[in-house]
Structure 1
């Protein structure tokens, strides 16, 4: 079986680890520290998924906080729980919510936020099963490869 994961870089990875656990419910599964107690590498689990969290370590591996808030990716979470409660939890932990929970044409209710260092997160919960034909009618777009 193949899986995919992502790695995110933070100026303060230890603070990021604590925040991601508090805001989103991630679980710490691995933490490697150097002789000075700095985070060398870590892994957080979320359901069947995993994300690696580390320090900035080169000019090409930076936190959005070091790049004026710029992102090259959005991290997406698919949850089974109450999306509105999840959003409230993230907000209470300090997430900048810039798209409140809203039901999308494809049947997911989603919200978008930024973590304290500026990584963009999209969180979704499937609330309705929508056919390709229904999604095409709602958007006016031709959709290929609908799952």
Structure 2
């Protein structure tokens, strides 16, 4: 799955505009879900010149994620599901209330 959205103000994917953008405004955020191999994927991205802005880490909601900035300045989030987390557990671990939840 790939999703493209506006950057979240003050969020983890907030980044400057691509280096070639004359406006120098915020960029889009790109989210890519991988089936497997996220750590090897991160290693390949780093070797190809991406700046790893968040190393691969397990998240409380059951995903393993890393973030990389490409040479043009776009921030990409790569994610892989590592376990199924019930909504109640995610709320407790994240100290938040979640409206709706995936299965």
Same fold (TM over 0.5): yes
How many matched pairs?
88
For residue 71 of structure 1, report the CA deviation from its aligned partner. Answer: 3.1
1:124 aligns with 2:79: yes
- Which residue is 1:136 aligned to? 91
- Which residue is 1:10 aligned to? none
Q: Distance in 2 between matches of 1:103 and 1:5?
A: 20
Q: Point out which structure has higher relative CO (alpha carbons under 8 A, 6+ apart).
A: 2
1:83-123: CA deviation from partner (whole Å, max 9, x where unpaired): 10000000000000010000011100000011110111000
- Which residue is 2:18 aligned to? 64
Q: Give the structure with the larger helix fraction.
A: 1
C-alpha RMSD of matched pairs (Å): 2.1
Unaligned runs of 5+ residues in structure 1 are: 7-62
1:114-142: CA deviation from partner (whole Å, max 9, x where unpaired): 11101110000000100100100101101
1:3-41: CA deviation from partner (whole Å, max 9, x where unpaired): x975xxxxxxxxxxxxxxxxxxxxxxxxxxxxxxxxxxx
SS for the counterpart of 2:92 is helix
Q: Distance in 2 between matches of 1:73 and 1:113?
A: 13
Structure showing greater Rg: 1
Unaligned runs of 5+ residues in structure 2 are: 5-16
Q: Distance in 2 between matches of 1:108 and 1:91?
A: 20
SS for the counterpart of 2:20 is helix
Q: Is the 8 A contact 1:132 1:143 kept in 2?
A: yes
For residue 72 of structure 1, report the CA deviation from its aligned partner. Answer: 3.0
Q: Give the structure with the larger strand fraction.
A: 1
